[in-house]
Structure 1
């Protein structure tokens, strides 16, 4: 790859990077373009962990734990944070819940809602997002009826990125749960691209306000410069600003406005006799609204035992984007590649704490309406970063003083440098992956237009 001049080089193979690669290859087939992707991690799995039939749930969780790097000791103010370095990023182990961010929040973004909905539809189609995976379950319908009867009229089944197309007529659908590795596989149907794993990007090369390349270090500590006219950073909410800051790229908002949901969790037991013998998949979503600025989702935690069924409830509250919540370079510690490690400042505002209380009250109402019978029910606040929804550190906007990228994901003031991961989201109102994929596809379309 060091001998190739790329039209586009993508750094990171997670949801955003995979989506950008897929779109570029789809639209540039037979155009003679050169596209490359580098990934800091190794090939850990060939697909989402749940697609591996020989792994039980317990073994799958053990494996996920073994490849996850907790950051809590380094980031005491964001102590739930963790990273996964590997082809596909965290999409090889995500829960696949794929709701859209509410319209009232997107209306505050520098993108028209009508255009965003177009890209949502593209993302949902390519990721096989549907509600049928859980909606077809009789227990889901029973629980929804109970919620509707108790006033939760917007309760619905969770949209999951799961391919439920039956295998027939020679078409095999074995990779049911989506991961960005599917993006890479699909892209190969359109045009060739170069891919390097265990390739750590450590510095960006900018010449006269334009991107020129990326310095990459291999596991044996050899350095290479990979040249590229356009670079798409999809390294994560932590690693993308880290790379930008270490490369000396100025920007008032880079690393700032660190976002995460205020995440609550509860478990409880529901009377097994209320549900049919054949349980199926249980997945319920109560969406975020202006009146209730939080999202609640829940499902079955374990297989039923005796007369009770254990359920798990997740609540995700809105958090204000604030300049003081940030990722920054540690002035004292570096990694083995010589790049400064990261530190974080993060706390909840008074408004955030009001939402947390609203969310706790809302979860209590939901649980009460379902007839949870465990008298020891407790709702607790998870550590910041524990929900894997961290975002905002390269936020999108029109003002270079309050945002890192413009509405197309391009770093303000630098030609050919783009960001396509969770870090560009200016607000959070739902699980971020679907939105990140939609925005990455939109960014790829803009790059294609600029390279005609």
Structure 2
């Protein structure tokens, strides 16, 4: 007979998945653990004997095996098993918002008896952020990203439907939203300050990524000396800790997968991928679960006391609308950042031979409704894994990207197509987005302001043509939080108006675009939502 000693937070059900045995075999062997979901930390668990396999040969077949374990680098739970469980919290989506909620729940709850489940529409794609993969440079990854992501209905927006979502591919820039841009948000300033700090610690955000880089230091000093005192080193979500005492820090660039890994060490949770949520189940103005469909088109109803939607700015409103959830503002107030890029050139003799990384952020202010990110060509001086084998350049090429605030307007929206449905039977979406005259005024300010930045940095030449006007992939607002149900989808804690226990936690709840990249704000607000859920369920 075999034995296994349970670790912190383990149950018979979690041991079933790790040891590849059946639950109905474990229960009679372990009468001291009658409840398969009870915590059995440090208890000896009796396992059934291994099957006798001597002389056995697997039949020859030309078809692949039904189960392929090569890509299961995280424990997965079959939907059949999840359908048999009622979850205290069911998270739909595994990107920045869903990962932040899971992380906070696991940290605060520890090894209690609450049940957490996660369903993800996409498959396992990468086990970490692409910067952590030695074979990828940014140009190589861009080619890959275009293959695995999908455009949103003839817009510049793109979605990455996979475990980890767009945190597998984001540029790691994580500034706080300036206070002047959040004064009308339904969240007190002191709470935002607290949760921004919490998010920065959780994501390992640092202003010292470029520390020691003379390239960054020299240009930053020039900006400070010429009317841009707000300029700061780029805040980057990178773990700078070295490997010490045998503790590996092998995935420095942040993705939400880091939180799923951490949570595995804190408590059990169930995760299913390739599980498309198609309907939110409700009754008596309260959520009761989610209906999901697997890739083989089987339907499962997963019961939950609390449901957290973290499926994206475009998928959240689609799911809410397709489920008949009422709300005038659902899908409306779609916003993002306008993006213009300008390139300048510097005399190489101004700088030492070893440059280092270039990363400077000029935040938005009350008088500057845009922020500017300044970096070298991303394939060369923003981040690189190997020493560059290139001749010394006569000129340095520097790119300044300006991200402008975009007005939150009701007419910018995501709506359901009344006729067309996808392969899962859910209506496809139609996106309506345009810039207002106020937005175009900001865009003109951006063009002038970026040229002033290059003058302050003493660029030798600046390209005459500014880059094309784009929408940054900073979409937000379609499930914005607020007080008034006519102009918002959720309350200040992310709970959907009129549906108890249904929450939204991702970019879509951000009330207005501001000027800062949204990921840090999404994580901060999602952790705040998780704390609120914990308070309600305790």
Shorter-chain TM range is over 0.9
Query: Corresponding residue for 1:443?
Result: 529
Q: Distance in 2 between matches of 1:114 and 1:162?
A: 26
State the TM-score, normalized to the length of structure 1.
Answer: 0.96
Query: Corresponding residue for 2:182?
Result: 106
1:146 positional shift: 1.0
- The answer to whether the aligner puts 1:81 opposite 2:153 as a matched pair is no
- The answer to whether the aligner puts 1:15 opposite 2:96 as a matched pair is yes
- The answer to whether the aligner puts 1:340 opposite 2:427 as a matched pair is yes
Aligned counterparts, 1:28-67, within 5 A: 28-67=109-148
Kept after mapping to 2: 8 A contact 1:144/1:284:
yes
1:78-131 deviation line (CA, Å, top 9, x unaligned): x20111010110000100000000101111111111111101111100100010
Q: Distance in 1 between matches of 2:443 and 2:466?
A: 11
1:65 positional shift: 2.0
Query: Corresponding residue for 2:366?
Result: 290
Quick check: which has more Rg, 1 or 2?
A: 2
Query: Corresponding residue for 2:242?
Result: 166
| RMSD, aligned CA | 1.2
Q: Distance in 1 between matches of 2:287 and 2:463?
A: 57
- The answer to whether the aligner puts 1:421 opposite 2:506 as a matched pair is yes
Aligned counterparts, 1:210-289, within 5 A: 210-289=286-365
Cα separation, partners in 2 of 1:132 and 1:148, compared to 1, 3 Å: same
Kept after mapping to 2: 8 A contact 1:319/1:428:
yes
Q: Distance in 1 between matches of 2:129 and 2:349?
A: 34
1:319 positional shift: 1.0
Kept after mapping to 2: 8 A contact 1:268/1:377:
no
Kept after mapping to 2: 8 A contact 1:396/1:406:
yes
Query: Corresponding residue for 1:390?
Result: 475
- The answer to whether the aligner puts 1:306 opposite 2:387 as a matched pair is no
- The answer to whether the aligner puts 1:69 opposite 2:150 as a matched pair is yes
Query: Corresponding residue for 2:256?
Result: 180
- The answer to whether the aligner puts 1:319 opposite 2:406 as a matched pair is yes
Kept after mapping to 2: 8 A contact 1:19/1:180:
yes
Question: Greater relative contact order (Cα 8 A, min sep 6): structure 1 or 2?
Answer: 1
Cα separation, partners in 2 of 1:413 and 1:388, compared to 1, 3 Å: same
1:428 positional shift: 1.7
Q: Distance in 2 between matches of 1:207 and 1:145?
A: 60
Kept after mapping to 1: 8 A contact 2:343/2:462:
no
Corresponding pairs, count: 445
Q: Distance in 2 between matches of 1:57 and 1:326?
A: 32
Structure 1: give runs of 5+ residues left out of the alignment.
Answer: none
1:68 positional shift: 1.4
Q: Distance in 2 between matches of 1:186 and 1:370?
A: 42
Aligned counterparts, 1:354-365, within 5 A: 354-365=441-452
Query: Corresponding residue for 2:202?
Result: 126
Query: Corresponding residue for 1:371?
Result: 458
1:375 positional shift: 5.2
Query: Corresponding residue for 2:107?
Result: 26
1:352 positional shift: 1.0
Q: Secondary structure at the match of 1:119?
A: helix
Q: Secondary structure at the match of 1:134?
A: coil
Q: Distance in 2 between matches of 1:195 and 1:274?
A: 53
Q: Secondary structure at the match of 1:216?
A: strand
Q: Distance in 1 between matches of 2:220 and 2:135?
A: 33
Kept after mapping to 2: 8 A contact 1:271/1:371:
no
Q: Distance in 2 between matches of 1:167 and 1:345?
A: 48
- The answer to whether the aligner puts 1:328 opposite 2:404 as a matched pair is no
Kept after mapping to 2: 8 A contact 1:10/1:37:
yes
Q: Secondary structure at the match of 1:250?
A: coil
Kept after mapping to 2: 8 A contact 1:155/1:287:
yes
Q: Distance in 2 between matches of 1:209 and 1:367?
A: 56
Q: Secondary structure at the match of 2:195?
A: helix
Query: Corresponding residue for 1:144?
Result: 220
Q: Secondary structure at the match of 2:482?
A: coil
1:338-369 deviation line (CA, Å, top 9, x unaligned): 11111111111111111111111101111222
Q: Distance in 2 between matches of 1:135 and 1:405?
A: 41
